[in-house]
Amino acid sequence: MRKNPLTKGILIINIFMFAMSAVFSGGSFLKSLWSGGDLQTLLKSGASFGAYVQQGQVYRLVSSLFLHAGLIPLIFNSYALYMFGTIVESIFGSRRFIVVYLASGFVGALLTQLFYPGVVSVGASGAIFGLIGQLFSLGLRKDTPRRLTPVTGTALLPMIIINLLLGFTVPGINNMAHIGGFATGFVFGLFLAPFRIAARYWSILWTALSVLCVVVSLVCISYVFLFPEPDIEQIINFANQYAEVLTLLSGTQNLRSDSYYLELLRPFDGATRALKEDVQRYIETGGHSDTLYNLQLRFKAWQAVVLKKYGTWIKKAPCRFVCSSRVFSSPASAGFSRAKRPS
């Protein structure tokens, strides 16, 4: 039987997720490989973000643990995971290792949402700090073998202090994930004895918990690929195209002859397909099925939902997009208008 299979498995998943985010970033592959993709790509790949989590996308609290925002963070976290993961998995076994790892990462992600809801969060450092916290508290137990002294307890204190100080002084480091993960692992380490064979009912419990953790992680990662978030550019293009179509409809006399303008619309989900169907029905019935004003109102409602969910990223798009705040006095005011990025 291979040693430390779950540590190696997590490393493989982390590298795979990083490569996927680089491939689908849409920019230069080498640049994306270095940076891990832009914020929009990270969000599409499962990064944690307060507004999305609050809307029910809780899977991001797990999927974000397997993402990294650059090659350097991936290398450092991979090294730390291999170093501490192999130790913890060897001491406590694969079942308890995976439960502590994912529980620590999850708690760290939750703390991030509480203290930094407006920050996009990715990385395995919270989960890794859970392993460090477990080893630290393990050194405080009286039944810990002496041969583990170099990798447990106060032997880890200098590294812990340095990393926490860096988290408070260096921008871009999520210290809440570190603190939450460390505290979770610390508690586990106080109650889990090293190398001890648990009673049968405890063994069954840890097996069930470990299987549950693996299944939940795979489901969360799979969800990212099965139900991807739309591109910001895609959303903006549809809004501008729809506004253009409404403008054309407001100035035409023969609606049936203008049905080809529907080809301008590129819907990408159920809501945008419904908007296109409204326009198609309006054209096919010569405007008798509905009023243009009602089409504008439904478009405005869709726009409000989009801005609530994606407003931050619309403004941070490569070409800045600004939404008109006026009431829909004319169809043209319904879309997103392009504006050059300030120099």
From CA 85, how far away is CA 274, in angstroms rounded? Answer: 49
Give the number of residues written for the chain: 343
The pLDDT of residue 176 is 92
The pLDDT of residue 135 is 95
The pLDDT of residue 340 is 33
Q: What is the DSSP letter of 256?
A: G
Q: Residue 35: how many CA atoms within 13 Å on its side-chain side?
A: 15
From CA 76, how far away is CA 14, in angstroms rounded? Answer: 12
Report the b/e string of 330-341 with b at 16+ CB within 10 A.
Answer: ebebbbbeeeee
The pLDDT of residue 66 is 95
Tens of pLDDT, residue by residue, the chain (343 residues): 358 899 999 999 999 998 888 777 655 555 656 655 567 778 888 899 887 888 788 999 999 999 998 888 899 999 999 999 999 999 999 999 999 999 999 999 999 999 988 888 999 999 999 999 999 999 998 888 888 889 999 999 999 999 989 888 887 788 999 999 999 999 999 988 786 656 677 788 889 999 999 999 999 999 888 877 766 777 888 888 888 888 777 766 555 555 566 777 878 778 888 888 888 887 777 766 667 788 888 888 888 888 877 776 666 554 433 333 222 223 333 344 333 333 3
Question: Which residue is it, tokens 């106060």?
Answer: 154
Positions marked catalytic: 125, 178
Which of 312, 320, 306 has the alpha carbon at shortest distance from 269?
306
From CA 2, how far away is CA 125, in angstroms rounded? Answer: 25
pTM score: 0.74
CA distances in angstroms from 22 to 31, 32, 41, 226, listed in the order given: 8, 5, 8, 18
CA distances in angstroms from 280 to 205, 259, 262, 285, 294, listed in the order given: 57, 7, 7, 9, 14
Concatenate the DSSP letters of all residues of 233-298 into one string. HHHHHHHHHHHHHHHHHHT-S-TGGGGGGGGG----SHHHHHHHHHHHHHHHTTT-SS-HHHHHHH
Domains recognised in the chain with CATH numbers = 5-226 (1.20.1540.10), 232-338 (no CATH)
From CA 106, how far away is CA 53, in angstroms rounded? Answer: 13
Which of 235, 226, 224, 220 has the alpha carbon at shortest distance from 313?
235
